[in-house]
Amino acid sequence: MKESGRKQGAPSPCAACKLLRRRCAQDCVFAPYFPADEPQKFANVHKVFGASNVNKMLQELPVHQRGDAVSSMVYEANARVRDPVYGCVGAISSLQQQIDNLQTQLAMAQAEVVHLRVRQNASFSHHGFGPGSPSNSGSPSSKLTSSQAKTIFDMDMVVDQASLGESMWSY
């Protein structure tokens, strides 16, 4: 029985040899890293780096480092296909900007928590519920009237006017 016009038992060529339309030798440097079922992987690497450059790079590296080198080339090639000008630097820059924005939001949220705790503590001590207070012997909620409870838990909301129109979590 024949598979795709090849002799029975003959291995199918790797994605690199298929794209380059050449016979895939037993010792093909591309075969372990560019399997036949992933043709786009080599197509992008070939488009960005060129087959002979990739071949030279892989042959100059020790075998145990070639897999990592191919992963890096594939990542960079895919990034260059998506963004021809900046490539993976654009992706890294975008992620760094997201990290900076999220760190700013986290700092603002932490500051708001501190502000609310200070207000709550000030409100408790103003109504005689601070530590060491004689009225703190029982449950604080049992000694509060409804007007006191409203005052203690009345909180101001700080709103950043510049970001009112945008969602805090959208990226």
Contact 91, 99 (CB under 8 A): no
Q: What is the pLDDT of residue 86?
A: 92
Rg (C-alpha) for the chain, rounded Å, is 32
Q: What is the pLDDT along the chain (171 residues), one digit of tens a residue?
A: 333 433 444 568 999 999 999 999 999 999 999 999 999 999 999 999 999 999 999 999 999 999 999 999 999 999 999 999 999 999 999 999 999 999 999 999 999 999 999 999 888 776 665 555 444 444 444 444 444 444 444 445 454 545 444 444 444
By the 10 Å C-beta count (0-12 exposed, 13-18 middle, 19+ buried), 109 is classed as exposed
User: Which pLDDT score is estimated for 161?
Assistant: 47
Give the pLDDT score at 123.
Answer: 83
Closest CA to 54 of 76, 31, 30: 30
Query: What is the predicted pLDDT for the residue at 5?
Result: 36
Stated pTM of the model: 0.56
Altogether, the residues listed in the chain come to a count of: 171
C-alpha–C-alpha distance, residues 28 and 22, integer Å: 11
